[in-house]
Amino acid sequence: MYEATLKLKCARPETVKQSLEPDIRNDEIVQTEMNAEKDTLSIVIKSKKLNYLKAVINSYISLVSMLEEVEKIE
């Protein structure tokens, strides 16, 4: 099993976590856990397939970046 931990700085990590949680789909191939800390969102991703892991990492980085940009606009 492959594993990656993303630690992404966020202005409001709890809000970002709540926004992403409805889209988490754990199955037999990919498992994801999120934790909001003081100014960091920690995402642990485990996958049986390396290409799935890469895709999930890229998706979360893009989504968190987009949510941070939306936060700046408000």
Q: What is the DSSP string of 30-45?
A: EEEEEEE-SSEEEEEE
The β-bridge partners of 42 are 7, 35
For residues 36-57, average pLDDT: 95
User: Whole-angstrom Cα distance, residue 22 to residue 74?
Assistant: 22
- What does the pLDDT look like over 57-68, one tens digit per residue? 999 999 998 888
Six-digit token pair at 61? 């980085």
- What does the pLDDT look like over 12-31, one tens digit per residue? 899 999 999 998 889 999 99
Six-digit token pair at 70? 């939306």
Q: What is the mean pLDDT of the chain?
A: 91
Alpha-helical runs (H) found in the chain:
13-20, 50-73
* Rg of the chain taking only CA atoms, in angstroms: 12
The CATH code that applies to domain 2-73 is: 3.30.310.50
pTM of the model: 0.86
